[in-house]
Chain A
Amino acid sequence: VQKSPFVGCEVNAFPPNKSAAVPKYVINLNLAPQDRWTQLITDKRDQLRALVSDMRNLTRGLLGDWLFNVVINNLDHLTTTLPSPYREEVEGISKASGLLVSEVTLYNIFYEVFTF
């Protein structure tokens, strides 16, 4: 790590490498919420499972066992309190990924609560 993080303006980074472009998917809002994410999540199943597994461990480390257990034990109930169509979407992602509903909910709340 260099001592001073800013050493000058980048002027030649554009255009980005084409291989760095991200893939594109269609999310059809006419489909039932449970089915909207099936194609995308099927394609990204393994990567999503790897991340959520890591997040579980990190969350336990950050919150400590007691608070982690309070949160994780309530995540199933938390999912039932999510408004439609998000609850159904979370359930659809769970089904397509093979992750527990509580784990998909944990993934979705991570950005909300990370500010602590």
Chain B
Amino acid sequence: CTSIIGQDANGKLYHGRNLDFGLFLGWNPKEHTWKVAELLKPLVVQQEWQRDGKTVYESVNYAGYVGVMTAVKKDKFTFSLDERFVMEGGYVGLLEWMLLGDHKQKWNAFITREVMEGAETYEAAKHMLSHTRLLAPVYFILGGAKPGQGTIITRWRDNFHTDDLSTKLSTSSSSSSSAWFLVETNYDQWVSPPFYDDRRTPAVHCLRAAGRANMSLPLLYNVLSTRPVLNKLTTYTSLMQVNSGEIGAWLRSCDDPCWPW
């Protein structure tokens, strides 16, 4: 996955993401596609969650998944979730849940629903995402509605080991500041991504090349369409703008030559 939050010169925030899924899950050597990724594409839908006839939030989901991976709550915050690969992964949490009866940890599917339905501010969402014990490690990418509100919350499974809360967008309007965007793929911010899966460097390069003056949803879409940010695992690209509540999603394919991940 790749998630990007960008802030234009006026402090307006934009959030985009590619959802990549299905690595090592059935490579089709004839079509050059991943089987699970291809099966997921027809299930991508935009969902408008309503209560009492009013929109609570909108999300982009795989039909049948009850959690939330990409969403906007108008005038409040935008949200995306990226997988985090660590040794003590979600399978440990699941085994603890099933075999030890440890039900005090939250599934990401459930905490994301609770945040989208219950949190009324960026700060409240950030607190919930930062301090809840989780079944699986993950990156939460959260954007607010005011200049400077954007963070990558790097989560371990426990609720007292939350890293990188300090990663914020600058409130400065200086175009020279590198803090007018945040890019998260599937690696911790404080280490370089591995050479065999470096989507961060191309994304950062293309954002810097375009410049802050051009920050917009079209720029995010173009960056998210740049290989290998776009790759054979990418099922959809989504764009969000918090103040308008705008959200859109488009199915993706990556014609050869294209990196498998």
Instruction: Spell out A's residues near B (CB within 8 Å).
Output: 1-2, 5-17, 20-30, 37, 40-41, 43-44, 47-48, 50-51, 54-55, 58, 71, 74, 77-78, 81-83, 86, 89-90, 93, 97, 104, 107-109, 111-116
Contact = CB atoms under 8 A, between A and B. Distances in A.
B165 interface: no
A63 to B, nearest CB: 9
Contacts of A51: 36, 39-40, 43
Interface stretch (B4-12, B87-95, B125-133, B171-179): B87-95
A interface secondary structure, majority? mixed
B60 to A, nearest CB: 7
Contacts of A14: 217-219, 221-222, 225
B254 to A, nearest CB: 11
B209 A113 contact: no
Given A13-B221, A108-B65, A25 B48 contact: yes
Contacts of A54: 26, 35-36, 39
B40 A30 contact: no
Contact of B45 (A24, A97, A115): A24
Given A26-B50, A115-B89, A50 B225 contact: no
Interface in B75-115: 83-86, 89-91, 93-94, 97-98, 101, 103, 107-110, 113
A116 to B, nearest CB: 4
B47 A113 contact: no
Interface centre among B39, B63, B85, B108 (most CB of A within 10 A): B63
